[in-house]
Structure 1
Amino acid sequence: MKPATLSPDRLLPAHSVPPPWPGRQVRLDGMVSYVRDTPATRPDAEPALYVHGLGGSSQNWTDLAGLLADRLDGQAIDLPGFGRSEPGQRYTVPVFAQRVIRWLEHSDRGPVHLFGNSLGGAISVRVAALRPDLVRTLTLVSPALPFLDFRRSLQGRMLPLLAIPRAERLAAWQLTRVAPEVMAQQVMEACVADLSRICDQRRQEALEEIRVRYQAEHYAAAYVRTFRGLVHSFLRSYLPGSDSLWRLARSVQAPTLVVGGRRDRLVDVRVAPQTARAIPDSRLLMLDGVGHVAQLEVPRLVARAVVGLLTETGDARNRADLAG
């Protein structure tokens, strides 16, 4: 593990607040997934895929994907049951990872620069470990790798819900009791350390996303079952066997950037450094005063670290080509 390198801010595009990137429905293996495209602004841009976290969507990557469009030809996928993708049959980290792998195989864009936030980080670690041929670099933002002290997470309050039969119905009922505007504010407060960093446009888009969730009958079940699957993966990681996320992290070959916020309220703040220590070729960026979704809260800082990673690995590839 080594410190992340921040590229100069002047290398990024001028500040802007783009609308959500255009999306499309894609049927793959009998299921519809929703994918947003962030077109590259340079012909030599390399392919990238962005994977959101629990309760999130492809919109979580709007700003970061735009800042990197001169280097990366980006796609962001809605996981099954979230955003505008159809619900799945099962909601576990292995199942989600297999869906990402199938998308990469179907789109034939690999190897890609793979990005994951929170749950998407756990998924991306599994993809990078099991299919190194599909991953060029790996960027993890507050990855939800295993930790056992749920007092360090606001989501720890959901643990009793998992013991209730048909908890999905209770969650759906609770969802109907909270106005979308209140839910959007609660989500923001949980994920973002400094709400002043989120502009009015992004707040309005977050509210519209909440309204989409309210209209999807499957959303509450998808959320609860995904949370249950994530907790299960946490527990398995401390048992013998090859399926441990920590064991998988130690086998990742791709050059990796790990970004953590020191005011993360959803994932134990110790997880990001632990992840960077586990992955052999890693760089760590810990951000003071930043919460769980650094790509939303401080996208330019995250983009500078990504450009640093891309520059370093690109230079290394060039040196290898010259030597060969």
Structure 2
Amino acid sequence: MSSTELPGSIATAATPTTLPVRVAEGERIRSVTLPGLTLSVRSRPPAREGLAPALYVHGLGGSSQNWSALMPLLADVLDGEAVDLPGFGDSPPPDDGDYSVTGHARAVIRHLDAGARGPVHLFGNSMGGAVATRVAAVRPDLVRTLTLVSPALPEIRVQRTAVPTALLAVPGVTKLFARITRDWTAEQRTRGVLGLCYGDPARVTEEGLANAVHEMERRLQLPYFWDAMTRSARGIVDAYTLGGQHGLWRQAERVLAPTLLVYGGRDQLVSYRMAQKAARSFRDSRLLTLPDAGHVAMMEYPDTVATAFRELLVDQGELAADGHRVTDPGTDTGTES
């Protein structure tokens, strides 16, 4: 494994033909190279040594940047990293072209194994929630707690607003959509995505919109952009159809890690009605429902999600009720101020 790190407010961790990747103040981005796989990883320097490791996994069409609002709110209790899945953000496509949920889960596992960071507090949103569920089920040794924001788990009745996204999995649809929308500006595309993902798009700040438009412009320059979207969407649909022990709901039942579930009442991609089913399926779960949130609660209501996660740490004995971190068992006892 090799790693190259680029700090700064804007890091040029991109190919020469694309715009630079934007990195928030205090963040760093590095490239991790594994056999057949290169991953871009975003992080913040930990507030102090010895904090528990965390890994954040984005959803379909997203990137590690989706966690930039939440990560600093937990930087005093977690040593966090956010990964760009293969083909997304600044990570190039995997050599084997595997964009299935299992393929993405394998990439996460390989990253954790190579860095020897497990067990981690694992976060996942949307497709990343499905990926994180699979990781927690097949490699419980790597997962300390699991936090899922609108996880893409199979639904019997898909919402009508989610159908266009699902159609990306149909052969030929992506090329047709790309041709129909070829005259759309990056801002038009971005506003469309934000309108689909946010419960109230008015919550997006001017800076947030500018960063999202920049990222859209950058991605549209990538020759594999639509291929990664299409194959990953197909991977989600395929995962929904799997039965037996490989089915996502069956794997949810196998998760041993304490699990925080976050669902938005205005989510147009993952139905709010799935919250109770998820709460019943994960054996050690707690549920946070946000009536006004959409599909990306960690971006819309980061403070609320951070508070819920801290409460999970308190319940697990890793954080005292006064907010002080409890030293890991086996190393020392007491609290740190």
TM range (shorter): 0.7 to 0.9
| Shift, 1:172, TM fit | 3.7
* Residues 177, 72 of structure 1: alpha-carbon distance in 2 compared, 3 angstrom cutoff: same
Whether contact under 8 Å (1:18, 1:63) holds in the other structure is: no
CA–CA separation in structure 2 for the residues paired with 1:45 and 1:24 = 20
| Shift, 1:72, TM fit | 0.3
* Residues 136, 204 of structure 1: alpha-carbon distance in 2 compared, 3 angstrom cutoff: same
Structure 2 residue runs without a partner (length 5+): 1-22, 320-325, 333-337
Aligned to 1:35: 41
Aligned to 1:271: 274
| Shift, 1:171, TM fit | 4.0
Aligned to 1:154: 161
Matched, 1:308 2:315: no
Whether contact under 8 Å (1:91, 1:229) holds in the other structure is: yes
In structure 2, what residue type is equivalent to 1:146? Answer: P
* Residues 67, 56 of structure 1: alpha-carbon distance in 2 compared, 3 angstrom cutoff: same
Q: How many residues align?
A: 302
1:94 to 94, 102, 127: 102
- In the TM superposition, 1:223-262 aligns within 5 A as 223-236=229-242, 239=243, 241-262=244-265
2:132 to 124, 131, 136: 124
CA–CA separation in structure 1 for the residues paired with 2:146 and 2:66 = 17
* Residues 80, 174 of structure 1: alpha-carbon distance in 2 compared, 3 angstrom cutoff: farther
What is the alpha-carbon root mean square deviation over aligned residues?
2.2
TM-score, normalised via structure 1 length: 0.87
Per-residue CA deviation, residues 19-76 of structure 1 (Å, 9 max, x unaligned), is 4822111111132211001221132321000000000000000010110000000000
Higher helix share: 1
Aligned to 1:217: 223
CA–CA separation in structure 1 for the residues paired with 2:37 and 2:270 = 30
In structure 2, what residue type is equivalent to 1:144? Answer: A
CA–CA separation in structure 1 for the residues paired with 2:261 and 2:318 = 20
CA–CA separation in structure 2 for the residues paired with 1:211 and 1:129 = 36
Per-residue CA deviation, residues 196-250 of structure 1 (Å, 9 max, x unaligned), is 32221111111111011111110111101111110111122xx3x2100000000
CA–CA separation in structure 1 for the residues paired with 2:181 and 2:114 = 35
CA–CA separation in structure 2 for the residues paired with 1:209 and 1:53 = 15
TM-score, normalised via structure 2 length: 0.84
CA–CA separation in structure 2 for the residues paired with 1:315 and 1:34 = 29
Aligned to 1:107: 115
CA–CA separation in structure 2 for the residues paired with 1:178 and 1:102 = 38
CA–CA separation in structure 2 for the residues paired with 1:153 and 1:272 = 18
SS at match of 1:314: coil
| Shift, 1:115, TM fit | 0.2
| Shift, 1:270, TM fit | 1.7
2:67 to 61, 81, 96: 61
In structure 2, what residue type is equivalent to 1:233? Answer: A
* Residues 146, 271 of structure 1: alpha-carbon distance in 2 compared, 3 angstrom cutoff: same
CA–CA separation in structure 2 for the residues paired with 1:318 and 1:40 = 16
Structure 1 residue runs without a partner (length 5+): 1-16
In structure 1, what residue type is equivalent to 2:162? Answer: Q
Whether contact under 8 Å (1:33, 1:77) holds in the other structure is: yes
CA–CA separation in structure 1 for the residues paired with 2:145 and 2:82 = 16
* Residues 162, 51 of structure 1: alpha-carbon distance in 2 compared, 3 angstrom cutoff: closer
User: Larger deviation: 24-33 or 73-82?
Assistant: 24-33
Whether contact under 8 Å (1:129, 1:253) holds in the other structure is: yes
Matched, 1:74 2:92: no
* Residues 314, 44 of structure 1: alpha-carbon distance in 2 compared, 3 angstrom cutoff: farther
Whether contact under 8 Å (1:61, 1:76) holds in the other structure is: yes
In structure 2, what residue type is equivalent to 1:154? Answer: T
In structure 2, what residue type is equivalent to 1:291? Answer: G
User: Larger deviation: 306-315 or 170-179?
Assistant: 170-179
In structure 1, what residue type is equivalent to 2:49? Answer: P
SS at match of 2:276: helix
- In the TM superposition, 1:284-323 aligns within 5 A as 284-314=287-317
* Residues 297, 160 of structure 1: alpha-carbon distance in 2 compared, 3 angstrom cutoff: closer
Aligned to 2:191: 185
Per-residue CA deviation, residues 78-98 of structure 1 (Å, 9 max, x unaligned), is 001111001120211011001
Counting aligned pairs with the same residue, the percent is 45
